[in-house]
Amino acid sequence: MATFNVHVTIENKPGISDPEGDTILNDLVLKGTHKTVSKIKTAKMLKFTIKEKDKKTAQSKIQEICDDLRIYNPMVSKVTVDVFEN
């Protein structure tokens, strides 16, 4: 068994609006001198630490947990799961 760090990124699907990101862009970043920025998207990240036999199992186990516990709504959110070996 090895320990893995699994990062779950939850963000709105492409095409669905992201008021928080838009607000940070328009009312914070673009008000400064950072005119080269064109888009900001917000996301929520959960960092799991899990003991599993391999990378693949760690990833599928975390995906399963997120699905079962409704950590995100599949209708709205896009989820990316990244696994890092500890």
Tokens of 25: 């862009």
**Residue 12 binds another protein, judged by CB under 8 A:** yes
Choices 9-17, 40-48, 49-57, 59-67 (CB under 8 A): range interacting with another protein: 9-17
* DSSP output for the chain: -EEEEEEEEEEEPTTS--HHHHHHIIIIITTTT-TT-------EEEEEEEEESSHHHHHHHHHHHHHHTTSS-TTTEEEEEEEEE-
Among 1, 36, 75, 86, binds another protein (CB under 8 A): 75
Among 16, 28, 37, 45, binds another protein (CB under 8 A): 16
Residue 31 binds another protein (CB under 8 A): no
Q: How far is the CB of 26 from another protein (least distance, A)?
A: 8
Instruction: Give residues in contact with another protein (CB under 8 A).
Output: 12, 15-19, 23, 26-27, 70, 73, 75-76
